Chain A
Amino acid sequence: MSSPAFMPAGTVYGTLLNTLDEWEALSPQMAQPPYQGAPKAPVLYIKTANTWSASGSAVTVPAQTTDVEVGASIAMVIGTPAHRTTVRDALDHIAAYVLMNDLSLPHASFFRPPVKYKNLDGFLGIGPRLAPARQAGNPNHFQLEVRIDGIVRQTVDYARLVRPAAQLLADVSEFMTLRPGDVLLLGCGANRPLARAGQRIDISAPGLPALGTLSNTLVAEVA
């Protein structure tokens, strides 16, 4: 008997600018308006429950939209409350890891919260299986591959983060408690591929087969 698909019990927090390639790509703009400085705290956003799509399900692309941006990430599922945790203890709060497909309508400005770009129905694909943290090994060794219609279009190397998993968790828990069931994405990388209605997106983690493959197909909205 197969177990039902994992769905988060808590709030899902996404993380912007946590990969070195994302940071480098945006750094020429950071001193300019409207940002007027590089971010100091982790830059977070929330993927609300209406965005959650099980692996294997189709995601509807709204009419008048051509491309959707694919934000593949490995996410941490919190097991015990994390409040002002230290870097040294941070990973003890993680129950498991899971794949996520953080879809967005492409947007160039990160000044205002991205709700109308990121919180559309179905716009967060959720991996089919959890990898228990004890068996997953060091998150700094994780890697991702993103395929669109079977062709590798992006890889993400979690050795190249602004804040590695433990540091990210510690810095977020400085200002808010992460509760059991909450989920925190490690980051989606630069050069995120675009996909269109009719295309299939597959995300997998080489070296961590326990996570399985997160697959979603994009379909056009029926007017």
Chain B
Amino acid sequence: MKRARVNYDGAVHDATEQAGQLLLDDGRRISFDAVHWLPPLPPAPRPRTILALGLNYADHAKELAFKAPKEPLVFIKGEGSLIGHRAHTLRPAGVEFMHYECELAVVIGKTAKKIRRDDAYDVIAGYTVANDYAIRDYLENWYRPNLRVKNRDTCTPLGPWLVDAADIANPMDLALQTRVNGQITQSGHTRDMIFDIPYLIEYFSSFMTLNPGDLILTGTPDGVVDCRPGDVVVTDIEGIGALVNTIAAAP
């Protein structure tokens, strides 16, 4: 099942994908174009934890002139940075290098504490696509990547679908691709993650409890390029979805 959360005709609805249309929770069938897409996450009782990996693909670490890390390089994002599918991400005036990052996002489904890697898939509700934009002009070597680079309004598109875990036979066997204005700029494969999904769940849950609705953004492969206002950026993961985003100039 592919699940969405949309704003349609004055209300927020849960929806599922049915034969190329959206089936709303009230039974209406409508086209993808008729709605505003929200991040495909059910509401959480407390602010959700959003963990994001840096340098988790060997080729991307090399691209950024870093050695592959010995343990996960993780940073945390606030919920305020999330936006949905087909929305706009703002590029500040005067910056030189703003790039997308196509990432497989794991959505936690069960409370998870001290989970062994063999049991890790049991705590996953599903998967979605994240585009974890970075504005490299603002990088500083203090808690790097710092929040001014990674926690900006509009800079984490998520969606379009939350795909049930049961529908994805092996999340470590999915192709990733980013297209900017129709040109392929980034290609990779989840099998090339340095720390795979079971490792990450075992690692994080060894010291912190993960709760339903929490997210793990698993990092991005090689091939990031600067994006300018007007660019249409599609981050696409096999079997999960194609997340469309357009860059706009910040007011």
- List A residues at the B interface (Cβ < 8 Å): 7-11, 13, 16-17, 34-37, 39-41, 43-46, 48-52, 62, 83, 110-116, 119-121, 175-177, 179, 182
Contact = CB atoms under 8 A, between A and B. Distances in A.
A114 B143 contact: yes
Contacts of B73: 112-113
Interface residues of B, number: 33
B62 interface: no
Nearest to A117: B207
B191 to A, nearest CB: 25
B80 A179 contact: yes
A48 B148 contact: no
B49 interface: yes
B211 A50 contact: yes
Given A10-B47, A44-B143, A121 B208 contact: yes
B75 interface: yes
Given A35-B141, A41-B148, A120 B208 contact: yes
Interface in B100-159: 113, 138, 140-148, 151-153
14 contacts: A40-B140, A45-B76, A45-B147, A46-B76, A46-B77, A49-B49, A49-B211, A50-B49, A111-B142, A112-B144, A113-B74, A113-B144, A121-B113, A176-B148
- What is the predominant secondary structure among interface residues of chain B facing chain A? loop
B209 interface: yes
Contacts of A112: 73, 143-144
Contacts of A116: 74, 207
Contacts of A40: 140
Contacts of A35: 141-142
A120 to B, nearest CB: 5
Given A11-B78, A44-B147, A175 B209 contact: no
Given A45-B76, A83-B153, A112-B143, 5 more contacts: A45-B143, A113-B73, A113-B74, A119-B76, A121-B209
Contact of B78 (A13, A16, A119): A13
Interface string B207-239: 111110000000000000000000000000000
A115 B72 CA distance: 10
Query: Which of B138, B143, B209 has the largest number of chain A CB atoms within 10 A?
Result: B143
